[in-house]
Structure 1
Amino acid sequence: MSQGPPVPFSDLPLSKTHASTKLNAWGAYGDQDERGFLNRQTDAIVAAAAASEIKTGTRVSLNAALDFQGDRPLFGRQVFKKDVYQKKPRIVHDDTWHFNTQSASQWDGLRHYGYQAAQRFYNDTTVEDIAGTSEKAKSRANILGVQNLEKHGVVGRGILVDFCRWRESGPGKDIPEAASFQSFERSPIKLEWIKQVLEWQGTGVKFGDILVIRSGYFKSYYALSDDKIAGLQAMHPPSLGGVEQSEEGLKWIWENFSAVAADHPSFEQWPSPHDWSFHEVFLAGWGCPIGELFELEELSKTCERLGRWSFFMTSEVVNVPGGVASPPNALAIF
């Protein structure tokens, strides 16, 4: 059986119920489906990825520390709190953690972001369905929760688009707009640049891949002054660099990938310059998980050292029925 998307991009939207649900693919994997793009991570695709990518056994974590933002988290999210305590009189410790699941590396689950105008989430799910107050919720508790990502994990062939390295020391340094990309301004990462990075790296794309983009966010974040962080904390909404919203970009994602991730906080440039966003289409329209704030600095160095930008990627989210997002617990294996 040939591998590819369930329907051509030109057939979208599948549901005509709400005019503002841009390019929705509701029903593509069944009317009650809650896994969306993860249906693309079939046993055959995962087995092929393991066979082609695991060669040396080199392993790289993709997870930022849960407390990497310290006591001054951006974007209105809560401070990570850890309480380590001895269980006297025994020489034993326990600990408790309290944190926002989107304050560090994370997968956005399908409860996170809906079509704003239509007020609908993936597969025509309503706010009432998620709140548990609708008739549908009586038979389908915890609908669209992150337990659906946890069931089989987010697993397959990952490819790193090292946009940061390309724009700093590769051909991108000679493209003024690319070279001047800013993490804390609404700067675009254009699809044409992403494709140029892949060509420069010699990285091919296979259906079902997990797309991972390094913008250089963590380098930019750690260089911020206290005053700049305070200014960003006061900004609503924040301005962020990320992947440019375009019809061509939507088509490319639809035709190739099973999940997307990046090192910056929104994956896409923010705010969107359009009356639609990738978050709406990916999460609410397609059920495509979005990874954000993945720590990719060591991955970039490893890819450069090994001369390859593809790897086997495994991510096992936390099993929280009805959860909105989760730390990824992600690992790249070469």
Structure 2
Amino acid sequence: MTRQHTRLEDFRVVGERLRNWGRWGPEDERGTINFITPERLVAAGRLICRGAIFDLGIPFDKSGPQDGAFRSNPLHMMSETGAGQDFPGGFKFADDYVLMPLQCASQWDALAHVHYDGLLYNGFPADGITTKGAEHCSIDKQAKGIAGRGVLLDIAALKGVDWLEAGTVIEPEDLDEACERQGGVEVGTGDILLVRTGWRRKFLSEGDPAAFMAGEPGLGQACCAWLHEREVAAVGSDNWAIEVLPGESPDAFLPVHLILIRDMGMSLGEILDFEELAEDCHRDGVWDFFFAAPPLKITHAIGSPINPVVIK
């Protein structure tokens, strides 16, 4: 797709227009998750008809997509195996622990993850992020969990490819066309939108972390208004940064992150696996479902590992 750098609106202008600051009060640190009301959560539960479960998290192990340049894959170590233990009655136990960046595999971005001009979502000062963590908008503020009606839009299938190429911009028109192609499924208030680019399939096919991290297809900046208009609660993808890379403009790095997280207060779910779910959706024609992905309550953290679950 040809890039129109000169026509891309400045992200600060877009962010100011779409900003949700104060919408849920001056002390709010949850953002668009507030769109998931008790009534919408109950309605989402009614989507469970078959009892079919799909896990969207990738394995947390050394085979992950991180190439070590910025983040590493999880390191799993055993502290006890039972060897050398001598307890009454022959009792033995095993223990282990994991050393990992919180955002190296399937994960949520907290609303403190990105900022600009010295401010976080809802106007909280960015200098509240210190070596001790984030004073405001940390992932534990989403501790009630992120659950509700999920909708999968398969953009790779829409384009007739196994995966979109790096640098492919997903436009609002693509999202609309996918909705129509998928039986007229609608995306609305309080929904959790899942966007399949095929990037997870690319990694599974090639096993190349460097290629996975070098760029990606993803949402273009114009999709921010599309999400805002529909009052989407959260968005997730099978790539590692939601948005297209290389980006649409050389003048801004990750502008979709800045608009969605900092201005709109939208949590982003990254490095998800939609392959099994997408296959099932194509088979039964049902593209909406109950989705649940609670973060770990890591105090003052900027993100959290997750294993999202879809139940149909």
TM-score (normalised: structure 1) = 0.79
Question: What corresponds to 1:157 in structure 2?
Answer: 149
- Alignment partner of 1:144 is 2:143: no
What are the superposed Cα offsets for residues 123-145 of structure 1, whole Å, 9 maximum, x if unpaired?
12223212289xxx9xxx83211
What are the superposed Cα offsets for residues 92-114 of structure 1, whole Å, 9 maximum, x if unpaired?
10110011111111111111111
Instruction: Classify 1:225/1:110 alpha carbon distance in 2 versus 1 (closer, same or farther; 3 Å).
Output: closer
What are the superposed Cα offsets for residues 60-97 of structure 1, whole Å, 9 maximum, x if unpaired?
10111112644953651023111123242342101100
Question: What corresponds to 1:26 in structure 2?
Answer: 21
What are the superposed Cα offsets for residues 157-196 of structure 1, whole Å, 9 maximum, x if unpaired?
000001122222xxxx6xxxxx9830xx222122211211
What are the superposed Cα offsets for residues 24-54 of structure 1, whole Å, 9 maximum, x if unpaired?
3211111111000011111011111112x11
1:1-334 to structure 2, matched below 5 A, reads: 22-23=16-17, 24-51=19-46, 53-67=47-61, 69-70=63-64, 73=67, 76-84=70-78, 85-87=80-82, 88-89=85-86, 90-115=91-116, 118-131=117-130, 142-150=135-143, 152-168=144-160, 181-182=164-165, 185-202=166-183, 203-224=185-206, 229-230=209-210, 238-246=214-222, 249-256=223-230, 257-274=232-249, 275-276=251-252, 277-334=255-312
Instruction: Classify 1:219/1:132 alpha carbon distance in 2 versus 1 (closer, same or farther; 3 Å).
Output: closer
Q: Is the 8 A contact 2:151 2:287 kept in 1?
A: yes
Distance in 2 (CA, whole Å) between partners of 1:186 and 1:111 is 26
* Aligned amino acid, residue 137 of structure 2: L
Count, aligned residues = 288
Residue 282 of structure 1: CA displacement?
0.9
Instruction: Classify 1:296/1:33 alpha carbon distance in 2 versus 1 (closer, same or farther; 3 Å).
Output: same
Distance in 2 (CA, whole Å) between partners of 1:187 and 1:273 is 10
Q: Which consecutive residues of structure 1, in runs of 5 or more, have no partner in the other structure?
A: 1-17, 174-178
Question: What corresponds to 1:13 in structure 2?
Answer: none
Distance in 1 (CA, whole Å) between partners of 2:309 and 2:207 is 31
* Aligned amino acid, residue 149 of structure 1: Q
Q: Which consecutive residues of structure 2, in runs of 5 or more, have no partner in the other structure?
A: 1-11
Q: Is the 8 A contact 1:142 1:321 kept in 2?
A: no
TM-score (normalised: structure 2) = 0.84
Distance in 2 (CA, whole Å) between partners of 1:155 and 1:242 is 23
Report percent identity of matched pairs: 27
Residue 241 of structure 1: CA displacement?
1.3
